Amino acid sequence: MAKSKKSGKKTKTNPPVKDEKLSDKKEKVKAETKSVKEVKDTKPEKETKETKEVKEAKEEKTEEKKVVTSEKKPGFWKKFFAKKYEGDENILTIFKNKKVYGALLGEIFGTMFITMIILTLGLYQLLYLFLILTVVYIAVRKLSGANLNPVITVGMMATRRMSVIRGILYLLAQVVGAWLGLTLISVFINVSGSEAELPGMTATPDGKFWIISMLEFTGAAIIGYFYARSQAIKKNPAAFGLLAAGGTVIALITVYIITANYFSLEGTFMLNPAVALMYQILPQSANGVGELLGGIGLALCTYVIFPMAGGVIGFYLSDVSETLVEE
């Protein structure tokens, strides 16, 4: 009886079913912990990849901004002498563009109107001149930019706002327009039977060559400066016309005050080489060929070369001030 009790106790202390259940639970817990660890491990990897991509994108953007800023901010002189017109015009390509013919017609007719007004009204009816110039500038602006004065065209070429070939064509168109204006006024005078004569420039007094030349230079510089500033508002036709015409009137007032008050000179300035040529500035007679050629040379220097140089200076002063402001 004692032996059987002992054996019964032994079978009770070793339950195999419970051990298997515990081992299954442990394995499940281990598997869950492993999956949780794997998820935790994969999250930082994804985050590190995303942060790397974001950093690389930011670095690329900063590099692009550096390149853009370096391109946008060239040196002072490089920006000052940079080309300011679109396209590459030359003698072989410019006539293929139909717009150039409209531009030349605009310069011819615009200069013709201005010449006719100056030949009839003169330079001292400033209010009428201002209104007429404003209207002509507005009318011709979209065709050619409304240069209407060799002073402005040479300044545009010198500051690379216009190609050389286009500038030469504009100069020829302006001379043709001034000649047409002179011809029309002459026809009207002859047909009407009037005894009126075409106006002419007063002969340059002896010893006054440099005074008149510097006055032409100064007045042309004022015209060039105001016209260059008007380019910033050329999309507004009325503002462009008012500023360009206003600059011309300011130049005329300045030169007139100086000549009348300080040098007692009248009728000795024009500030437009194309119109000045129609005012019979070139001498027609002299004691000899040498004297005639010398007089022609002095007249061209006074009323053509010096005003053109002044226009270039006016454009350069405008560009210098604008470049300094943008720095």
CATH code assigned at 180: 1.20.1080.10
Overall number of domains in the chain: 1
Averages of pLDDT over runs of 10 residues in the chain (327 residues) are: 45 52 63 60 54 68 57 63 79 88 95 92 88 94 93 94 93 96 90 76 76 94 95 89 95 92 84 88 75 84 94 94 80
> Residue 13: which residues within 8 A CB-CB, separation 6 or more?
none
Cα separation of the two ends of the chain? 116
In a domain? residue 216: yes
User: What is the pLDDT at residue 48?
Assistant: 61
User: What is the pLDDT at residue 3?
Assistant: 45
User: What is the pLDDT at residue 232?
Assistant: 86
In a domain? residue 75: no
Radius of gyration of the chain (CA): 42
User: What is the pLDDT at residue 31?
Assistant: 65
In a domain? residue 273: yes
In a domain? residue 51: no
In a domain? residue 281: yes
User: What is the pLDDT at residue 189?
Assistant: 86
- Report the distance separating Cα 229 and Cα 45, nearest Å: 60
Among 157, 183, 258, 246, smallest CA distance to 216 is for: 258
- Report the distance separating Cα 143 and Cα 4, nearest Å: 128
In a domain? residue 239: yes
In terms of DSSP H, where are the helices of 159-208?
164-192
User: What is the pLDDT at residue 115?
Assistant: 93
- Report the distance separating Cα 244 and Cα 231, nearest Å: 9
- Report the distance separating Cα 275 and Cα 268, nearest Å: 13
Give the range of the structural domain holding residue 212, as residue numbers without chain letter: 89-326
In a domain? residue 282: yes
In a domain? residue 131: yes
- Which of helix, strand or coil describes residue 101? helix
